[in-house]
A and B are shown apart, each in its own frame.
Chain A
Amino acid sequence: MNNDSPNFVNIFLRWLVSIDLVLVVTLIMLLSLGSITLFSATGENSRMMNSHTIHLILATIAMLIATQLPSDMLNRWSVWIYAFGVLVLIMVLIQGSMGKGAQRWLELGSLRFQPAEIMKLAVPMMVASYFSKRILPPNFKDIFVASILVLVPMLLIVKQPDLGTALLVGSAGFFVIYFAGLSWKWLIATALTAMVAAPLVFFYGMHDYQRQRVLTLFNPEADRLGSGYHIIQSTIAIGSGGFYGKGWLKGDQSRLDFLPERHTDFIFAVFGEEFGLLGNMILFSLYLFIIWRGLYLATKGQDTFARLLGGSLSLTFFIYLLVNTGMVSGVLPVVGVPLPLISYGGTSLVTLMIAFGLLMGLRRRKKWYDE
Chain B
Amino acid sequence: MKKRVTVKSEREEYRLFRSRAYVAAGFIFVALALVFVRLIYLQINSYEHYTELSKENYQKRVPIPPVRGLIYDRNGVLLAGNHIEYVLEAREDGIINRDNALKRLMQLLPINPQDVYKFKQKQRVNSRFQPVVLRKNLTENEIAIFSANRFRFPGFKVSVRMQRNYPLGSLAGHLLGYVGRIDKKDLEKLDKYEYSGSTHIGKSGIEKFYETRLHGKAGYELREVDAHGKPQIKLEDKAPIAGEDLFLSIDIELQLKAEELLKDYNGAVVAIDPRNGEVLAMASMPAYDPNLFVNGISYRDYNSLRNNPDRPLYNRALQGAYPPGSTIKPMAALSGLNAGVVTPTRSLFAKGFFQIPGNKHRFRCWKKSGHGHISLNRAIYQSCDVYFYDLAFRMGIKRYSAAMKKFGFGQKTGIDLPHERSALMPSAEWKRKRYDKFWYPGDTVNTGIGQGYFTATPLQLAFATSIIANHGRKVRPHVLRATRVSRNLPEKLVTPERLPSLGVTKLSYWDDVIRGMVNVVHGAHGTARRAGAGAKYRFAGKTGTAQVYSIAQNKSYNASKLKKKLHDHALFVAFAPANNPRIALAVIAENAGGGSKVAAPIARQLLDTYLLSTDNKKNVKKEDKADLKVNQNDYSPLLDNVNKLKKINKNTTIRP
Least CB distance from B4 to A in Å reads: 8
Chain A residues contacting B227 (CB-CB under 8 Å) are: 256-258
CA distance A258 to B53 in the complex (A): 12
Q: Mark B44-62, 1 if CB is under 8 A from A, else 0.
A: 1011011101100110000
The 3 closest A-B pairs by CB, nearest first: A239-B50, A240-B54, A257-B227
Q: Mark B25-50, 1 if CB is under 8 A from A, else 0.
A: 10011011011101110111011011
Least CB distance from B86 to A in Å reads: 34
Chain B residues contacting A266 (CB-CB under 8 Å) are: none
Out of A181, A258, A318, name the residue touching B28 (CB < 8 Å): A318
Chain B residues contacting A241 (CB-CB under 8 Å) are: 43
CA distance A304 to B51 in the complex (A): 51
Out of A179, A242, A315, A325, name the residue touching B35 (CB < 8 Å): A325
Q: A345 near B: Cβ within 8 Å? A: no
Question: Would you call A277 and B57 a contact (CB within 8 A)?
Answer: no
Given contacts A252-B224, A253-B57, A331-B38, 15 further A-B contacts (CB under 8 A): A136-B8, A175-B24, A179-B20, A233-B57, A235-B50, A236-B50, A236-B57, A252-B54, A252-B58, A258-B226, A277-B44, A288-B32, A295-B24, A304-B13, A325-B35
Question: Would you call B13 and A136 a contact (CB within 8 A)?
Answer: yes
CA distance A284 to B25 in the complex (A): 14
CA distance A310 to B232 in the complex (A): 50
Chain B residues contacting A137 (CB-CB under 8 Å) are: 5, 16
Q: B98 near A: Cβ within 8 Å? A: no
Question: Would you call B5 and A277 a contact (CB within 8 A)?
Answer: no
Q: Could you tell me which residues of chain B, from 310 to 355, have a CB within 8 Å of some CB in chain A? A: none
Q: B228 near A: Cβ within 8 Å? A: yes
CA distance A329 to B10 in the complex (A): 43
CA distance A135 to B8 in the complex (A): 5
Query: What are 22 of the A-B contact pairs (CB < 8 Å)?
Result: A135-B7, A136-B12, A175-B24, A181-B16, A236-B53, A236-B54, A239-B50, A241-B43, A243-B47, A252-B58, A256-B224, A257-B228, A258-B226, A258-B227, A272-B39, A284-B32, A287-B32, A295-B24, A295-B25, A299-B21, A307-B17, A329-B38
Chain B residues contacting A243 (CB-CB under 8 Å) are: 43-44, 47
Q: B238 near A: Cβ within 8 Å? A: no
Knowing A179-B20, A257-B227, say if A276 contacts B14 (CB, 8 Å). Answer: no
Knowing A135-B6, A236-B53, A277-B39, say if A179 contacts B226 (CB, 8 Å). Answer: no
Chain A residues contacting B58 (CB-CB under 8 Å) are: 252-253, 256, 258
CA distance A163 to B367 in the complex (A): 108
The number of residue pairs between A and B whose CB atoms lie closer than 8 Å in the complex comes to 137
Q: B642 near A: Cβ within 8 Å? A: no
Least CB distance from A167 to B in Å reads: 15
Q: Could you tell me which residues of chain B, from 346 to 387, have a CB within 8 Å of some CB in chain A? A: none
Q: Could you tell me which residues of chain B, from 186 to 233, have a CB within 8 Å of some CB in chain A? A: 224-228, 232
CA distance A258 to B38 in the complex (A): 22
Q: A247 near B: Cβ within 8 Å? A: no
Question: Would you call A326 and B28 a contact (CB within 8 A)?
Answer: no
Question: Would you call A252 and B21 a contact (CB within 8 A)?
Answer: no
Chain A residues contacting B161 (CB-CB under 8 Å) are: none
Question: Would you call A240 and B14 a contact (CB within 8 A)?
Answer: no
Chain A residues contacting B38 (CB-CB under 8 Å) are: 326, 329-331
Knowing A135-B7, A243-B47, A303-B10, say if A256 contacts B32 (CB, 8 Å). Answer: no
Out of A303, A311, A321, name the residue touching B20 (CB < 8 Å): A311
Q: A292 near B: Cβ within 8 Å? A: yes
Knowing A135-B5, A318-B28, say if A235 contacts B42 (CB, 8 Å). Answer: yes
Q: Which residues of A contact B (CB under 8 A)?
A: 135-137, 139, 175, 178-179, 181, 233, 235-243, 252-253, 256-258, 272, 276-277, 280, 284, 287-288, 291-292, 295, 298-299, 303-304, 307-308, 311, 315, 318, 321-322, 325-326, 329-331
Out of B17, B32, B54, name the residue touching A237 (CB < 8 Å): B54
Q: B647 near A: Cβ within 8 Å? A: no
Question: Would you call A252 and B57 a contact (CB within 8 A)?
Answer: yes
CA distance A78 to B34 in the complex (A): 36
Least CB distance from B232 to A in Å reads: 7
The SS class assigned to the B binding surface is helix
Question: Would you call A276 and B5 a contact (CB within 8 A)?
Answer: no
CA distance A291 to B6 in the complex (A): 33
Question: Would you call A295 and B31 a contact (CB within 8 A)?
Answer: no
Knowing A299-B17, A311-B21, say if A239 contacts B35 (CB, 8 Å). Answer: no
- Closest residue on chain B to residue A139 by CB atoms: B4
Knowing A258-B227, A318-B28, say if A239 contacts B49 (CB, 8 Å). Answer: yes
Chain A residues contacting B39 (CB-CB under 8 Å) are: 238, 272, 277, 280, 325, 329
CA distance A127 to B231 in the complex (A): 55
Least CB distance from B365 to A in Å reads: 82
Question: Would you call A280 and B36 a contact (CB within 8 A)?
Answer: yes
Least CB distance from B228 to A in Å reads: 7
The SS class assigned to the A binding surface is helix
CA distance A303 to B5 in the complex (A): 17
Q: B18 near A: Cβ within 8 Å? A: yes
Q: Mark B225-265, 1 if CB is under 8 A from A, else 0.
A: 11110001000000000000000000000000000000000
CA distance A331 to B58 in the complex (A): 25
Knowing A252-B58, A299-B17, say if A136 contacts B5 (CB, 8 Å). Answer: yes
Question: Would you call B20 and A329 a contact (CB within 8 A)?
Answer: no
Chain A residues contacting B12 (CB-CB under 8 Å) are: 136
Chain B residues contacting A329 (CB-CB under 8 Å) are: 35, 38-39, 42
Question: Would you call B18 and A299 a contact (CB within 8 A)?
Answer: yes
CA distance A298 to B54 in the complex (A): 44
Knowing A240-B54, A256-B57, say if A315 contacts B17 (CB, 8 Å). Answer: no
Least CB distance from B34 to A in Å reads: 8
Question: Would you call B35 and A331 a contact (CB within 8 A)?
Answer: yes
CA distance A128 to B116 in the complex (A): 72
Question: Would you call B226 and A256 a contact (CB within 8 A)?
Answer: yes
Question: Would you call B54 and A322 a contact (CB within 8 A)?
Answer: no
Chain A residues contacting B16 (CB-CB under 8 Å) are: 136-137, 181
- Closest residue on chain A to residue B14 by CB atoms: A307
Knowing A277-B40, A288-B32, say if A298 contacts B57 (CB, 8 Å). Answer: no
Chain A residues contacting B42 (CB-CB under 8 Å) are: 235, 238-239, 272, 329
Chain B residues contacting A288 (CB-CB under 8 Å) are: 28-29, 32
Chain A residues contacting B54 (CB-CB under 8 Å) are: 236-237, 239-240, 252-253
Chain B residues contacting A276 (CB-CB under 8 Å) are: 43
CA distance A204 to B157 in the complex (A): 58
Question: Would you call B35 and A322 a contact (CB within 8 A)?
Answer: yes
Least CB distance from A315 to B in Å reads: 6
CA distance A291 to B49 in the complex (A): 34
Question: Would you call B51 and A181 a contact (CB within 8 A)?
Answer: no
- Closest residue on chain B to residue A179 by CB atoms: B20
Chain A residues contacting B18 (CB-CB under 8 Å) are: 299
Chain A residues contacting B6 (CB-CB under 8 Å) are: 135
Chain B residues contacting A330 (CB-CB under 8 Å) are: 38
Chain A residues contacting B28 (CB-CB under 8 Å) are: 288, 291, 315, 318
Q: Which of B20, B21, B43 lies at the interface centre, i.e. has the most chain A CB atoms within 10 A of its CB? A: B43
CA distance A321 to B39 in the complex (A): 14
Chain B residues contacting A233 (CB-CB under 8 Å) are: 57
Chain B residues contacting A139 (CB-CB under 8 Å) are: 4
Least CB distance from A135 to B in Å reads: 5
- Closest residue on chain A to residue B22 by CB atoms: A295
Q: Could you tell me which residues of chain B, from 526 to 577, have a CB within 8 Å of some CB in chain A? A: none
CA distance A360 to B388 in the complex (A): 122
Chain B residues contacting A238 (CB-CB under 8 Å) are: 39, 42-43, 50
Knowing A236-B57, A240-B50, say if A179 contacts B17 (CB, 8 Å). Answer: yes
CA distance A139 to B5 in the complex (A): 10
Q: Which of B31, B34, B57, B224 lies at the interface centre, i.e. has the most chain A CB atoms within 10 A of its CB? A: B57
Chain A residues contacting B29 (CB-CB under 8 Å) are: 288
Out of A277, A291, A311, name the residue touching B43 (CB < 8 Å): A277
Question: Would you call A311 and B50 a contact (CB within 8 A)?
Answer: no
Chain A residues contacting B20 (CB-CB under 8 Å) are: 178-179, 181, 311
Least CB distance from B127 to A in Å reads: 15
- Closest residue on chain A to residue B18 by CB atoms: A299
